[in-house]
């Protein structure tokens, strides 16, 4: 594990980037040879605790790197996770103010909202089904505080799993009414289709991703709680978006969700 002083230095670098809106260099350049995933989580946790101490309320968790291709790209054999805060959440169709994002990219995801805690240490597939109140169509706007998306696994994990904002659809659907494994996904930016996929692209099933997260959070002493939002991971490739553009994600029987980035001031 990296020296605590290096962990604090890396966390401060990311925090400054968030506060100033100016991107920074890779975290791996700060921690040097300490580039494993646990170092990334140690850095992430410093900033998560600072945010909570400052009054931000945790709304749930996000899962990233759910595709095998991306795992190979960043050199890991498991997904990662980050923290969602209430002030990161937007409702369907609500514009996102200019200046809230640095290098945004959109992903279409299934969001789950929990009805019961998931604090069993190891969870079954059925535990996830029983604990889920409903599913929603959602968009994650991933973002990086690190310049030019020059990231490896320690960088993205440290940077709250490259989370920016998230948008939730407004029509909850029971898991008994939709098969999340087979749902189609189409993401349009300004009316042009830029990404397609299906539920099975997310670790074979979005509930598999949620099960992985439930185990991770429970074992780390911060289990998922009733009311938490779980962003389960992308169903297709993420795409860069720019100020003034609109994003519409259609999940077939699960419904649609829309957002728009406010244009830059003239």
Q: Please tell me the distance from the alpha carbon of residue 108 to that of residue 198, in angstroms, as a whole number.
A: 10
Q: Please tell me the distance from the alpha carbon of residue 141 to that of residue 164, in angstroms, as a whole number.
A: 6
**Residue 194 pLDDT exceeds 90:** yes
pLDDT tens, 64-99?
Answer: 988 776 666 566 677 999 999 999 999 999 999 999
| The CA-based dihedral angle spanning residues 214, 215, 219, 220, taken in that order and rounded to the nearest 10 degrees | -50
Q: For 123, which DSSP code?
A: -
pLDDT for 66 equals: 87
Please, which residues have CB within 8 angstroms of residue 230's CB and are 6 or more apart in sequence?
60, 61, 62, 63, 111, 112, 113, 114, 210, 213, 224
pTM over 0.85: yes
Find out whether 198 and 235 touch, Cβ atoms under 8 Å. Answer: yes
Please, which residues have CB within 8 angstroms of residue 151's CB and are 6 or more apart in sequence?
26, 74, 144, 159, 162
Q: Please tell me the distance from the alpha carbon of residue 110 to that of residue 132, in angstroms, as a whole number.
A: 12
pLDDT for 122 equals: 95
Domains of the chain: 57-260 (3.90.850.10)
pLDDT for 71 equals: 67
Residue 3: band (very low, low, confident or very high) from pLDDT cuts 50, 70, 90: confident
């Amino acid at each position: 594990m990296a020296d605590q002083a290096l962990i604090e230095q890396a966390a401060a670098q990311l925090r400054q980037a968030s506060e100033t809106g100016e991107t920074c260099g890779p975290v791996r350049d700060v921690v040097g040879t300490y580039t494993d995933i646990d170092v990334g989580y140690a850095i992430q946790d410093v900033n998560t605790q600072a945010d909570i101490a400052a009054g931000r309320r945790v709304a749930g968790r996000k899962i990233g790197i759910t595709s095998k291709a991306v795992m190979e790209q960043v050199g890991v054999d498991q997904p990662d996770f980050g923290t969602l805060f209430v002030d990161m959440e937007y409702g369907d169709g609500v514009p996102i103010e200019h200046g809230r994002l640095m290098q945004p990219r959109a992903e279409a995801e299934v969001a789950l909202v929990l009805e019961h805690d998931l604090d069993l240490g190891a969870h079954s597939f059925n535990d996830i089904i029983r604990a889920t109140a409903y599913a929603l169509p959602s968009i994650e706007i991933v973002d990086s505080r690190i310049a030019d998306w020059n990231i490896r696994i320690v960088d993205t994990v440290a940077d709250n799993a490259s989370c920016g904002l998230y948008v939730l659809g407004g029509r909850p659907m029971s898991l008994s009414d939709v098969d999340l494994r087979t749902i189609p996904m189409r993401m349009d930016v300004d009316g042009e289709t830029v990404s397609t996929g299906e539920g099975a692209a997310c670790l074979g099933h979005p509930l598999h991703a949620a099960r992985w997260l439930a185990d991770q959070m429970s074992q780390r002493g911060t289990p998922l709680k009733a009311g938490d939002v779980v962003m389960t991971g992308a169903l297709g490739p993420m795409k860069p978006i720019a100020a003034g553009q609109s994003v519409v994600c259609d999940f077939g029987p699960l419904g649609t969700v829309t957002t728009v980035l406010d244009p830059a001031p003239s």
